[in-house]
Each structure stands twice: as structure tokens, then as C-alpha cells.
Amino acid sequence: MSATCFHCNEPLGTSKLTAIVGDRDEPVCCAGCRAVAELIAGAGFSQYYAVRSQAPSRPEAALLQADTWSAFENPAVAATITQRTGDTDAVTLGIDGLRCAACAWLIDKVVGALDGVQEVSTNLATGRVHVRWRNSRLSLAEVMRAIARAGYRPFPPGDLSIAEHQQSERRSSLRHLAVAAFGMMQVMMFAVASYSAELNGEIIDPELLSFFSLVSMLVATPVMFYTGMPILSGAVRSVRLRTISMDVPVASALVLAYGASVYSTLTGRLGDLYFDSVTMFIFFVTLGRFVQMSVRHRTTGITDALARQMPSVAHRIRDGVAESIPAASLALGDIVLVKRGEIVPADGALIDDEASVDESLLTGESLAVRRMRGAVITGGSLNVGHPFSMRLTAAPSQSVVAHIVALLERAQGQRPVISAAADRASRRFLIAVIVSAVATAAGWMIVDSSQAFGATLAVLVVACPCAFAIAMPAATSAGIAALARKGVLVSNPAALEALAAVDRAVVDKTGTLTHGRLRIARTHVAPGVDRIWCQTMAAALESSSEHPIAKAFRLESSDLPATNNVRVHAGLGIEGIVHGTQYRLGTRKFISLPIDVLPDPQPASTVVLLADEHRILAQFELQDELRSTAPACVNSLGNHGIATAILSGDRLSAVEAVGDSCGISERHAACSPEEKLERLRALQSQGHRVLAVGDGVNDAPLLGAADVSVAMGRGTALAHSSADMILMNEDLRALPAAIDFTRRVRRIVRQNLFWAAAYNFGSLPLAAFGLVPPWVAALGMSLSSILVIANATRLLPKRSAAERSRFSSSRGSSLPAQAYGS
């Protein structure tokens, strides 16, 4: 327990920082986590830690700086995203980092505590918060600041219409589902009464029986034509397109069963009543679709992902004055100022002498790069050096990131179509049903033409592929739920089937096989110099820098000595005065003192030297640390018969080092997004089913085109929205486990399809010979559906006793009693 951070659950490293939570000191990994933990505890919301189910991501430093959000103090900027009615303003913001219900609760509390807030509601499902406040007492910037201080990044959502569309879709399916549920219960009530009478050999008053059937028809009609509409219209659509989807046999069985039942009700020729089967079946199918829709909604659209990636505000310089404007309104040729720690809003040419930017999310390059005057800086990179200004060479909508998104959209469109097993099965099934119906009709015509209609109808109704249609969705839904418990979030249900069939894997390096940030791997000190002292000096010098190298030092120490005259030499290093002595920290070239006592650094590591005016004091070797689970994952994939290759945008030496330690022999370095896509396509054209794993913007097209794709939980939003699955806990070992599991799902699906087929084809001959009374047909239909669902529930994890008592114990032990008082 003590080895991880109290707030973000990441390893502590050598951090000695603590946060004061209640009356205890809890260990935290960085100043950001300390600030957030103390804010949460100080405001009296520390129950959050007792009830949360997922740890939040480590807060970025820029989140906590008050001036990050000051652009939104400008009323003109604020007005682009708020709606004003009288003296109240309302806004809907997207929230980055919203992971569990406790996060949503925390945001509600933190924002609700602000003076002037009238209403705040955080929706976990859509990842958005809606806030309404009195504009005389509060500004948008203060609302955003409050959310940021709790450790979450607010952003103006890219496209509100997507969220609105999802909400109306959800509401409409709920209505459909409710009608089917109510209808099913009512009809079943009458059906059970008549079935049990028939079983016991009793006879119900015929008048009452016809009344029952009339009422059943009344109730079943809205279920059929309201809830069943999507199925019916889906079938009509696929017939028009001359394809056969699952909807076709389902809809034809529904229409026949319903039509036959209405016919017998109206003509008084009682007997063939299937209202109970019709309503129950529509309910189950709609329920399955509702579950899959909820899964789909959990991942936001690509437009929204772009909004998360890119800054919402830019500083435009006009006539020498900087003004904050919405980034979307930037145009070609504008001059833009990018402050330290900010994301470059669009592509542009550097006007200042030099700049250093971190492009790791765009290219996979793990080190910051240096750009000289006139060089093009790509939108989406992070400024880790001095503030710089640039002239835009492309509007935000034409920038490289937008281009990658376009590439992704095309890639997704050209994805290899794996026709779902159920669709293939339904095609064969439909043909078999039609053939046997025709044979039955023809046979009875010869033998006894008066029986022909009844027997043919019985065949068609008995053949209703209820169990067939439910077989896939039931197993898939159960599989998705079980995978979510293992930390794998599935956004595309079809991916389960595809993952089971994968035989190749391509993985990104930076951020996927590695943690994606530099850490100090080795420290060598000159004789007579204290190691801890050297690290403290280095941390002090780097304390004000946003450079990826500086971040590696920052975690190491807490009480830092004061530094004076700190000067950053871009691309070289940093110098400053500590305790009256001049120190320098940087590359070999920057230090330019003889290195004799220190060992040669390992290849692929970045070397940083610390020196005073006379000699070198220490040599730090920084490496993007490999995830400890990576070699086990690659090995385990190999045991599943899946060969792994690295596709990275980083330098060859770094890729080689990671490949060696993971045991991956196929490596491709310095790949652009297009090259990654080409290599993937080459594998696919050889007939391989390829799994892609990545985290960056540059991986998005790759993820979009792969047969199955997995994004890392802390990867970019664009990677999330293009992937089929998200590895929430970033434990790579979950990947082979998920493959094992999807193979189990595939087995269950096959069993289900087999049972459904066995029932349907077993009962067909009986129906053809007129041996199946309607109540047996209805019961058989229900039982076969229930059998299929019960089989699918075997996929759900067994709830352990510990989990069942989790809620009561967390109430008992961790929560302060006062939470229930007052």
C-alpha cells in the first residue's frame, strides 16, 4: 500500500511528499497530487477516497495553474460556449479524466460549493457536466478552475449535437423497452392462465377465453408496432438492399405469428395464439440492443476527441497586443503566442529564434525536439520551453492533427468486414426455413389440402429464430460486462468476435510498451559526492521547467533549495546558482568538461550531466521506462500463437532497446502514421488478423484500420475513440487474458447457436406433421430463449463474498460517522 500514491495510485518512486488528509499524512507522488488531495480533503469531500472504484490520472501541472483558464474570463470567449438567460449563465463542458461515479460526485460537490452556482449535474455516461450560475457572482473561468483544481480537465465539447443525439436515442430505446416489458407481463398473465388450464385438463369458459385473446391482442399491438418497429423496418431495409440480416427471419416470424394470432382472434377460430411469444421475443431483442447501445455510447465521437486534444483558447497577437480568442476562430496567417506548458493550436512557422516542443503524442518521439526560426511546428505539440510566437501556416481545421483524423475516418471506413457469425448463420437458417415451409405446404396439399395452411403456419412460427437472434447479443453483452470488471472497456461489441481470431499483434512503443515518460534509470556520482544531494540540486535547477527531462527529476525530491539566475539553454541544458555556487545540468556538449571517472552510459538512454564550475559531479541516465508487464504480455501472446511487432515513431536505438527487453524481433522505427497504416495493411493483405495496441494521436489511423484495436487508458482521446477496447488499468497482461476470454465467449456463442438450431430444427418436423399444440410451441420458444440467456450468464464473473460486502464495509470502516449525521 505504501508504495503507491494516495491520490493517483501510481508508484511513489523516491518521492517523500505527503499530503495532509484529515489528521493523517498520506504519501503522494508529486506536487500536483498533493494539491488535489489536500483540496479534496480540505473541502470535506474525503469520502471520495473511500468510495471511488478507479484511481484518477495524475493531474498535469498546467491544470493547477490559475492562469491556464484566465482566457475564459474574457466575456467574448466565454460567450462562445455559454448560454445566457437574464442574470444566469449555463454551460455544458466535457470533462477529461472522468472515470467512475465517485469522480462525478466529486465534481458536483466541488462546483456546487462555489458561491453563485444554482445547478450542477455531472453525467458519467456522457462525460459532461452542466452548470448554471448567477453571472453577477461567478465567471466561467472560476467554474473551470474549480474543476481543474479537483484534478479533471474541463474542455468545451466539440459537438454538442452528438451528445444530444445519444441522449434522445437512449430515451427512445428506454420507452420502447418499457412498452415491451409492460406488454409482455400483461400478455403472459393471460397466457399462463390458459396454459395451466390446458395442462390440468380443465376447460375455461369460451367467452372468457375469447375475451383473454382480445385483450392480449390489444396489449400486443403497441408492442408489435411501436417496440418492434426498428426490427420491422430493419428487415424491410435489408430486403430492399437485397441482403439478409438477422432482422429478416426475425421480422418474418414476428409478422406471421402476430398475423396468425390476430386472424384467429378476430375470426373466433381459437387455438393458434402466439401473442405471448411475440411480446416476449420483442422484449428480449430490444433489451439486447439497448445493452449494446449503452456500450457504444460510452465512447465519445471523433469530433469530441479532437476537442479534448486541442486547446480551446489561443493567444492571437494583433498590432503587438495579445488577445485570447477561441482557437476555432484562428485563420491562416494569424500570429499566435504559445506560452510555456500550452498546446500549439495549429500548424505554424516559428517567428522567434528557437523553441522546444514535446511531440510525443503526435509522433511517438519520446524526447523534446528543438525547432529553429522558420521551422514548422505541428499543432498539438506541447511547448516545453520558452514562450514563442508563430505565424500559422494552416487553420486549425487544416492542421496535421485534423489530417490524421481524416486518415482515421478513412481507415475506419476501409476496415476489413468480418461478417458476424450470427449473420452467416441466419442466412443459412432462413433458406432452411423457407425450404421446409414450402415442402410442408406441398406435402399437405397432396395428403390433405385443408390442413396445409395450419401446418405451414406452425412450421414458420416454430422456426421463429428467437433463440438464434438472442444467441449472439446475450453472449456478447455478458462478455462485455465481464471484461469491464477486468479493466477492459469494450466500445465495439463486434471486436469480441474479432479478438478471438487474432493471429498477429502490432504495438506502439512510447506510452504503450513503456510508460511514455522519462525516468532516472541510473545515477553515477563522482567520488566523494553524495547521490541524494546531486538529485536535489538537479531537481532544484529543473523545478521551473516543463521539459520532459525536467519531469524525470521533479518526482525525486521535496524540499528544494532556492535557485537564482536560472537560465535555460534550449536543446542543451539549464544553469543556475544554488547556495552561491554556479551549477550546470545538461548534455555533454553543454557541460564541456572532461569525463574520466564516469562509466559509459547504456545505449538508448539520454545522458544528463550535473557539474559545478570545475568538475562533473554526477551522470544521470534517463530512460523511458518499460512497463513491467510488457515482456510477460509479449511472451503470453506468443503462447497464444500471436507474433508481435513494434511500430514506433521513435528513434531506432530506443526501439531496439525496448524490443530487446520485451523479446520482440520485428521492429520498425521512425514510422509516420501513414507508414504504420501501410505496414498494417501489408499484414492484412497476407491474410492475417491483426490486433493493434497504441496510445497516441499518431496511432489513431492504425487503431482505426486494425481488425481489433486496443488503446491505453491514459492514451489520447483520439486513440480512445478510434479503438475497439480501452485498457483502463494499463496492465498489459490483461490483453492475453482478454484474448482467452473472448475465445471463451466464442465458444459460448457457438454452443448457443447450436442449441438454438437444435431446438428449431428438432421441432420443425413435429410442426410439419401437425403434432405441436400452440402452447407447447410457445413454451418451447420461451425455454430455448431462456436456455440461451442462461448459458451466456456463465460468462459473468461470480460475485465474491468480499465484493458483496464491499459497500457495507466501506460504510462501516472508512467513512467518517459525520457523513450520516446532520
Known catalytic residues are: 508
| Nearer residue to another protein within complex by CB, 446 or 820 | 820
| Binding residue for another protein, selected from 67, 87, 119, 164, defined by CB under 8 A | 119
Binding window for another protein (CB under 8 A); candidates: 212-220, 268-276, 735-743, 777-785: 212-220
Give CA 529 to chain center in angstroms: 48
Query: Residue 800's CB: how many other CB atoms inside 10 A?
Result: 9
- Does the footprint of another protein cover residue 293 (CB under 8 A)? no
- Does the footprint of another protein cover residue 104 (CB under 8 A)? yes
How far apart are CB 191 and another protein at their closest, in Å?
A: 14
| Nearer residue to another protein within complex by CB, 133 or 620 | 133
Cβ(606)–Cβ(367) below 8 Å = yes
How far apart are CB 86 and another protein at their closest, in Å?
A: 13
| Nearer residue to another protein within complex by CB, 122 or 135 | 122
Binding window for another protein (CB under 8 A); candidates: 179-187, 263-271, 367-375, 736-744: 179-187
Binding window for another protein (CB under 8 A); candidates: 173-181, 372-380, 615-623, 760-768: 173-181
| Nearer residue to another protein within complex by CB, 174 or 192 | 174
Q: By C-alpha distance, which of 578, 463, 500, 462 is closest to 745?
A: 500
Residues touching another protein: how many (CB under 8 A)? 38
Cβ(403)–Cβ(378) below 8 Å = no
Q: Which long-range contacts (CB under 8 A, 24 or more apart) does 7-12 make?
A: 7/33, 7/34, 7/36, 7/37, 7/55, 7/56, 7/151, 8/33, 8/55, 8/56, 8/57, 8/58, 8/59, 9/55, 10/55, 10/58
- Does the footprint of another protein cover residue 101 (CB under 8 A)? yes
| Binding residue for another protein, selected from 38, 108, 409, 675, defined by CB under 8 A | 108
Binding window for another protein (CB under 8 A); candidates: 176-184, 340-348, 496-504, 680-688: 176-184
Interactions with another protein, residue window 361-420 (CB under 8 A): none
How far apart are CB 123 and another protein at their closest, in Å?
A: 5
How far apart are CB 820 and another protein at their closest, in Å?
A: 7
| Nearer residue to another protein within complex by CB, 1 or 817 | 817
Question: Rounded distance, CA 701 to CA 821, Å?
Answer: 53
Task: Extract the C-alpha cell encoding 476.
Answer: 456478447
For every residue of 543-568, DSSP letters joined together read TT--SHHHHHHHTT-SSPPPEEEEEE
- Does the footprint of another protein cover residue 90 (CB under 8 A)? no
Amino acid at position 184, single letter = M
- Does the footprint of another protein cover residue 123 (CB under 8 A)? yes
| Nearer residue to another protein within complex by CB, 280 or 616 | 280
Site string for another protein, 780-819 (x = CB under 8 A): -----------------------------------x--xx
How far apart are CB 164 and another protein at their closest, in Å?
A: 12
Cβ(344)–Cβ(188) below 8 Å = no
Rg of the chain (C-alpha set): 32
| Nearer residue to another protein within complex by CB, 50 or 501 | 50
| Binding residue for another protein, selected from 15, 74, 92, 122, defined by CB under 8 A | 122
- Does the footprint of another protein cover residue 192 (CB under 8 A)? no
| Binding residue for another protein, selected from 12, 215, 239, 335, defined by CB under 8 A | 215
Cβ(139)–Cβ(71) below 8 Å = no
Question: Rounded distance, CA 606 to CA 517, Å?
Answer: 12
Beta partners for 92? 130
| Binding residue for another protein, selected from 124, 593, 598, 787, defined by CB under 8 A | 124
Question: Rounded distance, CA 278 to CA 191, Å?
Answer: 12
What is the chain's length?
A: 822
| Nearer residue to another protein within complex by CB, 57 or 123 | 123
| Binding residue for another protein, selected from 40, 140, 143, 179, defined by CB under 8 A | 179
Cβ(337)–Cβ(321) below 8 Å = no
- Does the footprint of another protein cover residue 165 (CB under 8 A)? no
Q: By C-alpha distance, which of 505, 568, 513, 523 is closest to 542?
A: 568
| Binding residue for another protein, selected from 1, 23, 200, 205, defined by CB under 8 A | 205
Cβ(719)–Cβ(702) below 8 Å = no
Task: Extract the C-alpha cell encoding 166.
Answer: 445519444
| DSSP state at residue 70 | G
| Binding residue for another protein, selected from 219, 231, 464, 700, defined by CB under 8 A | 219
Question: Rounded distance, CA 323 to CA 9, Å?
Answer: 39
Cite the beta strand spans of 393-500 per DSSP E.
488-490
| Binding residue for another protein, selected from 11, 13, 112, 443, defined by CB under 8 A | 112
Longest dimension (CA), the chain: 112
Cβ(365)–Cβ(659) below 8 Å = no
For every residue of 703-742, DSSP letters joined together read HHHSSEEEEETTS-HHHHHH-SEEETT--TTHHHHHHHHH
Amino acid at position 372, single letter = M
Interactions with another protein, residue window 7-66 (CB under 8 A): 47, 51
Binding window for another protein (CB under 8 A); candidates: 106-114, 620-628, 649-657, 751-759: 106-114
Question: Rounded distance, CA 596 to CA 593, Å?
Answer: 9
| Nearer residue to another protein within complex by CB, 119 or 674 | 119
Binding window for another protein (CB under 8 A); candidates: 69-77, 166-174, 496-504, 582-590: 166-174
Task: Extract the C-alpha cell encoding 637.
Answer: 501472446
| Nearer residue to another protein within complex by CB, 172 or 233 | 172
How far apart are CB 48 and another protein at their closest, in Å?
A: 9
| Nearer residue to another protein within complex by CB, 227 or 440 | 227
| Binding residue for another protein, selected from 39, 55, 61, 125, defined by CB under 8 A | 125
How far apart are CB 104 and another protein at their closest, in Å?
A: 4
How far apart are CB 49 and another protein at their closest, in Å?
A: 12
Question: Rounded distance, CA 347 to CA 331, Å?
Answer: 11
Sorted by sequence, the CB contacts under 8 Å of residue 352 that are 6+ apart come out as 373, 386, 388, 389, 390
Question: Rounded distance, CA 226 to CA 213, Å?
Answer: 20
| Nearer residue to another protein within complex by CB, 93 or 361 | 93
- Does the footprint of another protein cover residue 317 (CB under 8 A)? no
Question: Rounded distance, CA 343 to CA 431, Å?
Answer: 58
Q: By C-alpha distance, which of 480, 315, 310 is closest to 381?
A: 310
| Binding residue for another protein, selected from 82, 186, 563, 721, defined by CB under 8 A | 186
> Coil, helix or strand for 241?
coil
Binding window for another protein (CB under 8 A); candidates: 69-77, 116-124, 609-617, 781-789: 116-124
How far apart are CB 178 and another protein at their closest, in Å?
A: 5
Cα three-residue angle 443-447-449, rounded to 5 degrees: 85
| Nearer residue to another protein within complex by CB, 39 or 815 | 815
Give the footprint of another protein on this chain (CB under 8 A).
Answer: 47, 51, 101-102, 104-105, 108-109, 112, 118-119, 121-126, 167, 170-171, 174-175, 178-179, 182, 186, 205, 208, 211, 215, 218-219, 815, 818-822
